Each structure stands twice: as structure tokens, then as C-alpha cells.
Structure 1
Amino acid sequence: MGNSQKSVYKIAAVGIFAALVFVSNLISIPIPVAIGDVSRIHLGNIFCLLSGFVLGPVGGGLAAGIGSALYDVTNPAYIASAPFTFVFKFLLAAVCGWVAYARQQEGANHKLNICAAAAGSLVYMALYLSKAFVQGLLVGSELGAVLVAVATKAATSGINAIIAVVISVPLCAVVRAALKRSHLLDKLQRG
């Protein structure tokens, strides 16, 4: 199969995974935050990590970033954060993909995938919480209120991370097996 045909498969897969990320973000429980902000427990990070496992660091990062940023631009509460969301979710999936694809594993090593999902989630949490802290100070909130808001976001983000790691790793094995049986896995990963 030529490189241009493989590119079509990869582009289509990025679009499909971006759509999965977008839709999974709709399944959420909003949590009010001390300084008038909102945090959520949601399923979006599961599919961000799955994108990294299946599509690798770049394709997975693009799918996660695009799907998450599109969710933000369709929700008035998050529209101003869309550029940050694109970068942070890109890095969530990219770090996951980089670790999962280490030593030519290409997302096939279950133990490495657990580490990959945890690493991607930790990077995302560090970025998200740092942004929340800086943003809270920049808008003039008292340090105590900012710390309470960041603690609330840390709790919801931690719950999201645990849910994402616990579900995405076994889901990766199932999705990879289905893609392998359909001869799509090689078209998405190599070339």
C-alpha cells in the first residue's frame, strides 16, 4: 500500500477519534469551583488516551486536541480556554503515545500502556492545574480562593485521570484486536 493511501487512513482515523473525544466530553458531571469557574468529571480523557495508544503521539495528539478544543468552542463556559485545551489535550495523548510506542511497542505492551496512560494524565494535570492557578491570580482572586479552586480542580482532574487510565488501557487492547482483525492497524501505525 502506498504512502498516500496510508495517509488517507491516518487522516480519517484522526477525524474519527477527534469525534469520539468530542462526544465523550459531552458525558460529564459539572462541579462548581470556588472562584466562579467550573470543572467536570467526564469521559473525554479516556478517548484522548485511546487516541495516543492507537494513532501514536502525533495522530493521537491531533485527535485529542481537535476533539477537546471543538468541545470547548461549542460550550460558552469553556470557549476562552479552547487554545489551552488543544495544547494540553494534545500533550496528554502525545505523551501517552510516546511512552506506549517506546521500543517499537506501538501500543501493544499492556504494562507499558499503563505507564503511558499515567504519564499522559500526569502531564495533563500539571498543565491544567498550573493554568488554573495562574489564571486565578491574574483575575485578581485572593490566594486562598485560588488554592481552594485549584484543589477542587485537582480532585476532579484526579478522578478523570483514574477513570481514564482504568478504562483506556483495557479498551486499547480490545480496539487494537478489532483493528488488527480488520487489517486496519498496520495502515494506521506504519509508514
Structure 2
Amino acid sequence: MKTTSLEHTVSTSLPDSSLRLKKLAFAAIFAALTYVVFTYLSIPIPTPGGKVSVHLGNAFVVLGALLLGPLYGGLGGAIGLTIGDLIDPVYIVEAPVTFVVKLLVGVIAGLIAHRLGHISTQQNQRKLTQWVVIASAAGLLFNTFADPGLRYLYKLFILGRPAAEVTFAINFTVTAINAAVSLVITVLLYLALRVPLKKAGLFFRLR
């Protein structure tokens, strides 16, 4: 008998322990993907107050939130980017800021996508695309202001770096560029992965 794609979907009707285990496994995968993208596919830009990078790590933070929900998706991306900071002597001092900001990015995108847009059960393609764009844009917009802003305050008051203002201007510009590119990548990846993941039984139906 032919099985429908819906029957292949990982449903919230699974036992809680099994569902949590699957989400943890996917969160670990997204942590690894985010780390790899940030570490090996980034363009570093030296500044007087430190280093900033053009990268697509934020795209995978948001993508994880769209596929896994706000908590697991946000944690996966936040952990991946934080590890990337911890192994880099330039970024290591900013690792706490990275974890907090990226976790919030995932939570914001995930809550909008699943609590408001219900994207995992949405069948209308136009509405699905609309909510994916809205959720992704909200998370990345928050990151555009929160990331450079919190790093500026952290460098100025915690690390006592006088060049923090120079870094803020550059970091804001780079983060805005990252956000624009990440938005396009995130939306395209989510829409492209949705059907294959359903067929493979790896798509989470979230409420």
C-alpha cells in the first residue's frame, strides 16, 4: 500500500522521550552545520576593535528554528556559533554574547513560524512562504540590531575597549549584509527541504 508523505512525518504524537531525542539529534546536526559554515565559509574583516565576519551562520540558526522549533533550533544554532567563537582566539571573549543573541534569534523566528504561522502543518503554499519569510526576517532583523549593539556594550563596559564604537559601525553594516543574504538562503532552503524531509520521515510537525 502506498504511504502518504503525511504518514512519513515525525509527529508530535510520538512519545515525548522519543520526540525529544530526535530533536536533540537534529539540534546537534544544526550545531555542526552552523559551526562549519561560520568557521570555514566566512570572510573575516579586521577592524581596530576586533574582527567581524561575513558569513551564513545566522541562516542556519533560523533554518534550524523553522525545522525544529524555537528551543531546539535556537539552541543548535547558538551552540554551533558559540563553539566557533570559543576556538578562535579573536572571538573567544565574545562567546557569551554570541550564545545569548543567537538563541534569541532562533526563539523569535521559531515562535513566529510555529505559534503564529503554523508552518509545519500549513498546506497553502502562498501562506507558507509568507510566514517563512516573516519569521526569518523577524529573527534576522533582531540579530541585525542586537548583535552589534550587545557586542558594543560588552566591549565597552566589560572588556573596556575604546575602539568599540568603530567596531559597532562596521559590525552593524556587515550584520545587515549577512541578514539580507541569509534571509534569501533560509527561505529557499526551507522550502526546498520541506518535501524531501517529509518523504524521508524526518519532518517535524510542530504546534
For 1:103 and 1:130, the matched residues in 2 are separated by 28
1:137 aligned residue: 156
Note the aligned Cα RMSD (angstroms).
1.8
1:69 aligned residue: 82
How many residues get paired? 185
Note the 1:1-191 alignment, pairs <5 A.
1-26=14-39, 27-35=41-49, 37-103=50-116, 105-107=118-120, 108=122, 109-138=128-157, 139-141=160-162, 145-185=163-203, 188-190=204-206
- Extract unaligned runs of 5+ from structure 1: none
For 1:189 and 1:119, the matched residues in 2 are separated by 22
For 1:173 and 1:155, the matched residues in 2 are separated by 28
For 2:67 and 2:161, the matched residues in 1 are separated by 42
Identical-residue share of aligned pairs (%)? 33
For 2:130 and 2:76, the matched residues in 1 are separated by 24
The answer to whether the 8 A contact 2:31-2:79 is kept is yes
Cα deviations across residues 132-185 of structure 1 (Å, max 9, x unaligned)? 3323433252xxx54332111111101110111011001001122111111221
2:4 aligned residue: none
Assess, with a 3 A threshold, how the Cα gap between structure 1 residues 177 and 129 changes in structure 2: closer, same or farther.
same
Q: CA deviation at 1:46?
A: 1.2
Query: Secondary structure of the equivalent of 1:183?
Result: coil
Greater relative contact order, per chain length (Cα 8 Å cut-off, separation 6+):
2
The answer to whether the 8 A contact 1:49-1:93 is kept is yes
The residue type paired with residue 40 of structure 1 is S
Q: Which structure's CA Rg is the greater one?
A: 2
The residue type paired with residue 95 of structure 2 is A
The residue type paired with residue 174 of structure 2 is T
- Extract unaligned runs of 5+ from structure 2: 1-13, 123-127
Query: Normalising by structure 1, what TM-score?
Result: 0.89
Per residue, is there more helix in 1 or in 2?
A: 1
The residue type paired with residue 73 of structure 1 is L
The answer to whether the 8 A contact 1:56-1:106 is kept is no
Assess, with a 3 A threshold, how the Cα gap between structure 1 residues 69 and 137 changes in structure 2: closer, same or farther.
closer
Q: CA deviation at 1:190?
A: 4.1
Query: Normalising by structure 2, what TM-score?
Result: 0.82
Query: Secondary structure of the equivalent of 2:69?
Result: helix
Query: Secondary structure of the equivalent of 1:101?
Result: helix
The residue type paired with residue 195 of structure 2 is A
Assess, with a 3 A threshold, how the Cα gap between structure 1 residues 190 and 118 changes in structure 2: closer, same or farther.
closer
For 1:103 and 1:135, the matched residues in 2 are separated by 33
The answer to whether the 8 A contact 2:78-2:102 is kept is yes
Query: Secondary structure of the equivalent of 1:75?
Result: coil
